[in-house]
Amino acid sequence: MRNSMAPPKVDKKLLVSLIIKNVKQELSQAINAANEAHAAAVDDQSVAETQYDTLAIEASYLAEGQSNRVKVLQDALFSYEVLPLLTFDENKPIALSALVQLNADKSNQHWFFIGPAAGGFRCQLNEQHITVITPDSPIGKVLMGEYIDEDISVMLGNGKRTDYIANVH
């Protein structure tokens, strides 16, 4: 084995509670934005004055988009509330709730948490830097089903990242 199996100083329950708190904040903001957009769409000021006046149409599209965002965030919140937090070792393939560290990220104590939603959320717990990724992200697709010590290669932007999985918890 190329890695040291020292467990991270990360409490997955605490991590998920931070993610949930963040999603709830985003959801609250999205609900407010959706309510404002809906109000604008039906406001007397939005009534078309000419055939070229598209304010009401634009406001309704915005309201629809905001409502869709609310639904996505509600789904994300639910997915974290029911997420089973699994324990991983060298014999268990990477799946949802895995904390994964690539070799190049060991020195800066960076981990990827594979979650069902909220990809891109970042936080720091006990000096460990954590980025949430989803199975649909480029790196998530590469990591899912792999094991400790497996070599990986992923296209990120215009560059290719080649590394190996140093730790999984």
Average pLDDT over residues 64-72: 92
Pairing of strands 128-133, 110-114: parallel
For residue 75, the tally of other CB atoms under 10 A from its CB is 12
- CA 70, distance to chain mean position in Å, is 15
Per-residue pLDDT tens for 75-87?
999 999 999 999 9
Q: Name which residue leads in pLDDT, 89 or 97.
A: 97
Mean pLDDT estimate for the chain: 88
Question: Quick check: 27 and 73 in contact, CB under 8 A?
Answer: yes
Q: Measured between alpha carbons, how far is 131 from 137 in angstroms, rounded to an integer?
A: 12
Question: What pLDDT shows up at residue 7?
Answer: 55
Average pLDDT over residues 132-142: 97
Answer yes or no: is pLDDT of 102 > 80: yes
Tell me the C-alpha to C-alpha distance, in Å, between residue 54 and each of 44, 49, 85, 121: 14, 9, 49, 36
- pLDDT in the model for residue 104: 93
For the segment 42-68, the average pLDDT, to the nearest whole number, is: 71
pTM score of the predicted model: 0.85
* CA 141 to chain centroid: 13
Question: What is the tens place of the pLDDT at every residue in 3-14?
Answer: 555 555 789 999
Pairwise CA distance, residues 133 & 129, whole Å: 13
